[in-house]
Structure 1
Amino acid sequence: MRVDLSAISTPSSRRLFLRRVALAGGALAFPDVIPAAALGADAQVAPSNRVAMGFIGMGRQALYANLPWHLSSRETQVVAVCDVDAWRLEQARQKVEAAYAAQRASGQFRGCAAYRDFREVLARKDVDAVMISTPDHWHAYMAVAAARAGKDIALEKPISLSVAEGRAIVNAVRQHQRVFRTDTEVRSELKFLQLVQVVRNGLLGKVQRVLAGVPKDLAPLAQRPPAMPVPPDLDYDLWQGPAPARPYTEQRVHPVRDASKRPGWMMIRDYSQGMIANWGAHILDIVQWALNTERTGPVEVEGTGVFPQDNLWDVLQDFQVRYRYASGVEVFYSNAGRPFVRVEGAEGWIEHTWFKAEGFIASNEAWLSWKPGPNDISFPLLTEKQDFVNCVKSRRETMIPAEVGHRTTTLCQIGHIAIEVGGKLQWDPEAERFRNSEAANRLLTRPSRAPWQV
């Protein structure tokens, strides 16, 4: 299984892009660029030690969650931003330049390049790494292209929309020897880290069962709205990219000239798998981490769920999935209304609900304050952004590298497939195929439109 990006990097494709930029006019597409190396005095870190970052996708997640950390870091320099929406792109450029201007004695800064097409960011030799915060349907294609271009990659979760796409990311990262970080902050949550350390050090005895939950999607369903004119700011064809071609409506994409609200694409299966994967990429990562199954998966899966009928927003509304591992451990995963993990063993249980101050509980209260000794299994506590930057510099593997992020995303995807197909499915985590259902195997890839082929 591979992702073939050759069709989107041809000379004719590049000429078309450049012609479109020229026709668009204005300074938005290609502002003056000041290399990161020229910003030494005020940055307080030697230029050779700063990581030059390109940001691809400048929506809500990028503007409010991903970009601020890098703008405040003395170890990175944001040199380029990219989005198919011109308004969002300009908001991002202004945000970057205002932040850097505030850090300089002169109070002035110009030098963040802005691009409509991600390929132009990847073509820049001075970009060391990219932060990809696009809609999910673009994740795998951009990550593979970035690896081929020699860029290190921080990729929003879930990292793919199919098992085949996830494996393509892993293969590309390995082939091109790139640093990769699945961008979820869940391992930076102290109580989840403590829970994992208690389980991995055997305090619960033999693990028997895991319960995991995520919130319900409370967004109201959208009846199928009529087609609308494409806003002048948006390159809708490029936004759709590898997804099936559909008529434009604002509820399909994101609010016009407003990056603060939740985008509609998160509730549409052409672009996302909804809460089972969006939140599952957080919570099931903790499950895999606690079970020490980060680079493998279960051997059996079955599930039930409810898909909306005749609605634009068509992702799963309710779901329950059961996984069984070769060890005999069973994992029960549902949108129970709260983000939590509970691990049950022969000697007791431990549980944590994310964002809930009193959510860290256990059958043995001493486990809540237990700390690993020098000979115990322990893990560092640091932000996902700092982990990525550290590893870009050291060339070591991040805490959630491509293989680990792929395996967690695969859990979400095979659970989704089990609901679609029905019945009890036998999963081969080595071959990444179902043993007893060709109908299920056909869902390990997803259709895409030319010129983006899987």
Structure 2
Amino acid sequence: MKSKSPWDSLRRTEKSNVLTRREFLKSSAVAAAGMASIWPTIVPASVFGANTPSNHITVGCIGVGRMGLGDLREIMGFKQARIVAVCDVDSKRTKHARQLVQTHYSKQSQNGSYKGCAAYGDFRDLVAREDIDAVSIVTPDHWHALPALAAARAGKDIFLQKPLTLTIEEGRILSDTVRRYGRVFQVGSQQRSESNFRSACELVRNGRIGKLLTVKVGFGTDPPTGPQPPMPVPDWLDYEMWLGPAPWAAYTEKRVHPQNGYGRPGWLRIADYGAGMITGWGSHHNDIAQWGMGTEYTGPLEIQGQAEYPKDGLWDVHGAFSIEYTYAGGVKVICTDTRKNKQGILFEGTEGWVYVKRGHLDANPKSLLTSAIGPDELHLYKSNNHKANFFECIKSRAETIAPVEVAHRSCSVCLLGEIAMRLGRKLKWDPEQERFTNDDEANKMLSKPMSSPWHL
């Protein structure tokens, strides 16, 4: 694989039960040879009657694991969307996802049958299909940027799970590319589509708590684990493709995801594939902090942090932590684990406070909870359903509730905190140039090298 260009199709065997790009281009001939049951070139209108696929937004799902399967099920609930392809490096998961999709749409078809969902082991083959309008990308963090960039360049609209990218460099390139190609983009920061978070931010931005002084953000952390022995790679896992741009490392189950079931995967706790909870939960809560401060298109000026890191073992992301961000105007964001700050976001001002987390909104004075935002005041973007907003924007070509540049800035806040925690010293940041002004070592941490042949 590594001798080929990263954008060339990888050949697959029949054992992997997926289609290559060459097979796709020859699909008419394949169908004539009796393979139409795998994926027909054209799905007849009679299969769905009035709900013919030509009237739908066709979607390809890249990554159908723990989170990806949930997003796939959610997408199937929208009548305006039709999943026509699934992709994963774990062929067991791909087979399961394809079966779910075809069973779901078979129940809606007039003849009780639907075979219109293809299965792939390589995202490039899925992205190459001209009949796919949008992709849902729900992969490990080190596999966010490359599929999203490929999709944008191929003219697809994109839903990408948070955090946006593994590095700040990747985020800048992705944001620029999405806008260059005019794609509709939404990141999975679904808290923006929950009314309590929007209400909290509107109260703050309309001055209901006076001058904003401090924002306190809290969320949990992951425990470490001990050393793990190398294990044989399962037949159903394309481990080389799973590693992709990350450094080579011996396979062990807790490095990747459970061999059986859809439990929480080990890669979430390994720095080569993600930054830990600072981007896991941080991408949600720091995004709301940014929204409430009105800093969605900028970032902090100074960052200092500290954290506990495991001394050995496979899982090496941060444990207990504390980060202080300083924004223009002197507003402080204090982001810590839940031993110091409670779960959620607390906005503190000169005349009161607003606290918000999932399913809960509180304030002091209590009268703020019934304070209406007037017609001449600031009303934030309203979305009552995150995925519905994505599909509505695909049709209207409007910007989504969680667009790519906002996602990049929120993810950057988290990654800046990670760099500060690693270095253990105060850093000064230029949010316009997206460079540290006082630390060359920190600037080197804005990007990570990719293993050949992968590149941005």
Q: TM-score, normalised by structure 2?
A: 0.91
| 1:284-323 → structure 2 map (5 Å cutoff) | 284-323=286-325
For residue 47 of structure 1, report the CA deviation from its aligned partner.
4.7
The reply to whether residue 344 of structure 1 matches residue 345 of structure 2 is: no
Instruction: Pick closer, same or farther for the CA change 1:43–1:189 going to 2, 3 Å.
Output: farther
Please give the residue correspondences for 1:215-234 in structure 2 after superposition, counting only pairs within 5 Å: 215-217=220-222, 219=223, 221-234=224-237
Show CA shifts across 1:4-47 (max 9, x none).
xx9311xxx42xx22xx135365777763246874577475575
Q: 1:39 to 1:271 in 2, by over 3 A?
A: farther
Q: Partner of 1:7: helix, strand, or coil?
A: coil
Partner of 2:169: helix, strand, or coil? helix
From the superposition, tell whether residues 405 and 39 of structure 1 become closer, same or farther in structure 2 (CA, over 3 Å): farther
**2:56 match:** 50
**1:160 partner letter:** T
Q: Out of 249, 254, 262, which is 1:251 matched to?
A: 254
* Residues 9-408 of structure 1 mapped to structure 2, 5 A cutoff: 9=7, 13-14=8-9, 17-18=10-11, 21-22=12-13, 24=15, 26=17, 32-34=38-40, 38-39=44-45, 42=48, 47-63=53-69, 65-217=70-222, 219=223, 221-259=224-262, 261-336=263-338, 338-355=342-359, 359-378=360-379, 379-408=381-410
Kept after mapping to 2: 8 A contact 1:43/1:74: no
Q: Secondary structure at the match of 2:13?
A: helix
Distance 1:404 1:147 in 2: 17
Match of 2:29 in 1: none
Mapped partners of 2:174, 2:55: distance in 1 = 27
Matches of 2:105 and 2:287, distance apart in 1: 35
Take 2:206 and 2:157, find their aligned partners in 1: how far apart are those partners? 33
For residues 36 and 284 of structure 1, do their structure 2 counterparts lie closer, same or farther at Cα, with a shift above 3 Å needed?
farther
Hey, what's the Cα distance between the residues in 2 that align with 1:36 and 1:412? Answer: 45
Report the Cα distance in structure 1 between the residues aligned to 2:149 and 2:308, rounded to whole angstroms.
33
For 1:213 and 1:25, the matched residues in 2 are separated by: 43
What code does the residue aligned with 2:5 have? A
Instruction: Give the Cα separation in 2 of the matches to 1:76 and 1:427.
Output: 42
Q: Alpha carbons of 1:195 and 1:35: their partners in 2 closer, same or farther (altered >3 Å)?
A: farther
Segment drifting more, 222-231 vs 80-89: 222-231
Alignment check: 8 A CA contact 1:87 1:257 kept:
no
User: In structure 1, which of residues 416, 432, 435 is the aligned counterpart of residue 434 of structure 2?
Assistant: 432
How far does residue 343 in structure 1 lie from its aligned partner after superposition? 0.6
TM-score by length of 1: 0.92
Root mean square deviation of aligned Cα: 1.9
C-alpha deviation, 1:216, in angstroms: 2.7
Q: Percent sequence identity over matched residues? A: 42
State the alpha-carbon separation in 2 of the partners of residues 25 and 70 from structure 1: 25
> Deviation per CA, 1:252-277, whole angstroms, max 9, x where unpaired?
00111312x00110111110111010
Distance 1:203 1:42, change over 3 A: same
State whether residues 18 and 118 of structure 2, in contact with CA within 8 Å, keep that contact through their aligned partners in structure 1.
no
Alignment gaps of 5+ in structure 2:
24-36
Q: Deviations over 1:63-109 (max 9, x none)?
A: 1x201121111110000000011100001000101111122233221
Shift in CA distance, 346/39, structure 1 to aligned 2, threshold 3 Å: farther
Q: Distance in 2 between matches of 1:296 and 1:441?
A: 18
2:16–2:236 contact (8 Å) kept in structure 1: no
What is the SS of the residue equivalent to 1:301? strand
* Separation of aligned partners in 1, 2:17 and 2:239: 20
| Unmatched tracts of structure 1, length 5 or more | 1-5
Distance in 2 between residues matched to 1:92 and 1:85, nearest whole Å: 11
Deviations along 1:224-269, one digit per CA (max 9) or x if unpaired, are 111111000000000000000000000100111312x001101111
